[in-house]
């Protein structure tokens, strides 16, 4: 099934737009996984007839051999969509040993087994966008059923470039980001009044800025903000531009602003998971892990196979002291996403620093077990730290601490990881020294003054409130640190209390 060629249709009050993998209702929108959308289209096109598992596999899995769990997972997600997002507009019935059929529901809840799914035209703005997607992906030249007759050739070409950028962006390949930016930039050059393209360009510039070296990062962020302001000038409700202004730039010392903007945008775009992630991250950065965990649970319930949401939940549970639940979350995430390097690293660190260092060592056995990605902890250093925590010998501990100091000096380990390992290894003074270097810059040996880090460099504070760094928070130097960082001011301004102070009260 080629979703780019599938026309939009309606399931009761629910509008389904296959090329965009979106379902909408009353202004709300949700993007489905490609396979989920394919199965929904296949069942809807059957118009109440039973669709066998073999037919679903042929149409939606390209005839490949798939297990029962794969089909059951997709059907389960669609049933949840029908109950929650669709609020009872359709159901999926299992016909034992045969297949499935989609049943439309009338207003009183009665099913309509032979209900027709009326093919519709998408709303004007989305209709034009989808047309661009179809043109970009299939190479079709000329008129499309999705393009309103009044839309000029210039807008159609701009939409084609925009849609091509959207499709490439959805593939989630960082190495293609420059091409994504080129598509969106082309769309804005063809049609300077295309708000959606300006918003998408702003977000893409922001993503580029995060990958740039520090001297170039702020310039890229400034470009992202300019594109966002242009989009909002054309459309004050542009979602991507709103997100770009919230996300562009470091969170460090902007916690109040980012949290307030994020919560405000959440009320305007309640289906946008990224906004919930932003607010949850600010809560983590300011020591409010339990509140972050509540948001993470909602995100996982909404999108149970999203690896980032599971990582967020695992960390929130861990640093809230719910160790067993954290372990179950990390283990489940590892089974679902065995090749995700950041999930792998989160699980390794959790095992090493939460009482299971031997299991962390088993996880890292053989170089092939270590993720093939650039991570802020190398294989040799990770093994060195895990071994020291497993043996607790003075010699192994000394080697691990020396390795962390050397790696931090050469930039081969992230401070947010190094400091946690130093604390659990008992090197509190060294951990505090690295903390001050991280936040306030390295000491100049000639002047004795610190070289202030770049304002474009995002310095994380969540690890200060992590489970492994609890001894730091008991040290009399810790209140001085939080005051110098502006965290005390944040707690006072937001009338909030970090978890560690609640526990001590």
**Mean pLDDT, residues 269-290:** 94
What does the alpha-carbon distance between residue 350 and residue 333 come to, in Å, rounded to a whole number? 13
Question: Is residue 447 within 8 Å of residue 482, measured between CB atoms?
Answer: no
What does the alpha-carbon distance between residue 369 and residue 341 come to, in Å, rounded to a whole number? 11
What does the alpha-carbon distance between residue 270 and residue 267 come to, in Å, rounded to a whole number? 6
Reply yes or no on whether the pLDDT at 120 is more than 50. no
Q: Which two tokens stand for residue 340?
A: 């995700």
User: Which 3 state secondary structure label does DSSP give 260?
Assistant: helix
Q: Which two tokens stand for residue 77?
A: 């997600």
Question: Is residue 205 within 8 Å of residue 218, measured between CB atoms?
Answer: no
Instruction: For 130-141, give one letter per residue: b (16+ CB within 10 A) or e.
Output: bbbbbbbbeeee
What does the alpha-carbon distance between residue 300 and residue 387 come to, in Å, rounded to a whole number? 33
Exposure of 448 by Cβ count < 10 A (0-12 exposed, 13-18 middle, 19+ buried)? exposed
pLDDT bin (cut points 50, 70, 90) of residue 88 is low
Question: Is residue 478 within 8 Å of residue 423, measured between CB atoms?
Answer: no
DSSP state letter for 47: T
Question: Is residue 372 within 8 Å of residue 345, measured between CB atoms?
Answer: no
Closest Cα to residue 120, out of 227, 13, 211, 250? 13
- How does pLDDT run across 319-330, given as a tens digit for each residue? 999 999 999 999
Question: Is residue 472 within 8 Å of residue 431, measured between CB atoms?
Answer: yes
Could you give all domains of the chain from N- to C-terminal order, each with its CATH number?
Answer: 3-112 (1.10.10.10), 124-249 (1.25.40.10), 263-504 (1.25.40.10)
Reply yes or no on whether the pLDDT at 132 is more than 70. no
- How does pLDDT run across 454-497, given as a tens digit for each residue? 777 789 999 999 999 999 999 999 999 999 999 999 999 999 99
Q: Pick 330 or 160 by higher pLDDT.
A: 330
What does the alpha-carbon distance between residue 384 and residue 430 come to, in Å, rounded to a whole number? 17
Cα→Cα distances 67→43, 52, 71, 94, 453, Å:
19, 14, 7, 17, 52
Q: Pick 497 or 220 by higher pLDDT.
A: 497
Q: Which two tokens stand for residue 276?
A: 């919930």
What does the alpha-carbon distance between residue 502 and residue 505 come to, in Å, rounded to a whole number? 5
Separation of CA 79 from chain center: 24
Reply yes or no on whether the pLDDT at 134 is more than 60. no
Q: Mind giving me the DSSP string for 140-188?
A: --S--TTS-TT--HHHHHHHHHHHHHHHHHHTT-GGGHHHHHHHHHHHH
User: Which 3 state secondary structure label does DSSP give 365?
Assistant: coil
List beta partners, residue 450: 443
Q: What is the mean pLDDT of the chain?
A: 84
- Can you give the pLDDT at residue 172? 61
């Amino acid at each position: 099934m080629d979703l780019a060629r599938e026309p939009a249709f309606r399931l009761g009050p629910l509008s389904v737009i296959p090329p965009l993998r979106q379902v909408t209702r009353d202004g709300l929108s949700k993007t489905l996984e490609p396979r989920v959308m394919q199965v929904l289209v296949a069942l809807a096109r059957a118009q109440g007839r039973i669709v066998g598992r073999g037919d679903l596999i042929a149409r939606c899995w390209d005839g490949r051999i798939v297990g029962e769990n794969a089909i059951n997972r997709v059907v389960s997600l669609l049933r949840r969509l029908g109950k929650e997002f669709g609020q009872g507009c359709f159901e999926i019935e299992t016909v034992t040993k045969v297949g499935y059929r989609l049943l439309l529901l009338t207003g009183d809840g009665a099913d309509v087994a032979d209900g027709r799914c009326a093919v519709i035209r998408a709303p004007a703005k989305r209709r034009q966008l989808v047309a661009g997607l179809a043109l970009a992906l299939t190479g079709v030249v000329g008129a499309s059923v999705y393009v309103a007759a009044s839309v000029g050739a210039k807008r159609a070409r701009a939409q084609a470039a925009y849609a091509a950028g959207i499709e490439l962006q959805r593939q989630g390949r960082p190495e293609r980001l420059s091409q994504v930016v080129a598509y969106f930039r082309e769309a804005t050059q063809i049609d300077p009044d295309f708000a959606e393209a300006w918003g998408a360009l702003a977000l893409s510039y922001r993503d580029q800025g995060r990958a740039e070296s520090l001297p170039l990062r702020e310039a890229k962020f400034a470009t992202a903000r300019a594109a966002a302001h242009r989009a909002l000038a054309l459309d004050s409700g542009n979602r991507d531009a709103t997100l770009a202004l919230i996300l562009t730039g470091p969170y460090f010392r902007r916690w109040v602003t980012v949290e307030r903007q994020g919560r405000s945008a959440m009320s305007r775009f309640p289906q946008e998971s990224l906004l919930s992630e932003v607010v949850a991250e600010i809560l983590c950065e300011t020591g409010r892990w339990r509140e972050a965990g509540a948001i993470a649970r909602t995100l996982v319930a909404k999108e149970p196979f999203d690896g980032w949401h599971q990582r967020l939940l695992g960390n929130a549970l861990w640093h809230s002291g719910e160790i067993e639940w954290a372990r179950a979350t990390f283990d489940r995430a590892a089974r679902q996403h065995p090749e995700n390097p950041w999930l792998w690293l989160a699980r390794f660190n959790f095992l090493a620093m939460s009482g299971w260092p031997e299991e962390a060592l088993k996880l890292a056995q053989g170089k092939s077990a270590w993720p093939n990605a650039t991570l802020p902890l190398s294989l040799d250093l990770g093994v060195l730290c895990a071994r020291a925590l497993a043996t607790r010998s003075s010699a192994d501990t000394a080697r691990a601490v020396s390795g962390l100091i050397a790696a931090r000096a050469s930039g081969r380990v992230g401070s947010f990881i190094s400091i946690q390992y130093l604390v659990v290894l008992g090197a509190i003074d060294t951990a505090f020294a690295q903390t001050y270097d991280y936040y306030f810059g390295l000491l100049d040996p000639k002047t004795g003054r610190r070289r202030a880090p770049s304002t474009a460099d995002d310095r994380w504070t969540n690890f200060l409130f992590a489970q492994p760094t609890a001894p730091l928070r008991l040290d009399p130097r810790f209140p001085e640190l939080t005051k110098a960082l502006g965290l005390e001011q944040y707690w006072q301004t937001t009338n909030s209390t970090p978890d560690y102070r609640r526990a001590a009260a």
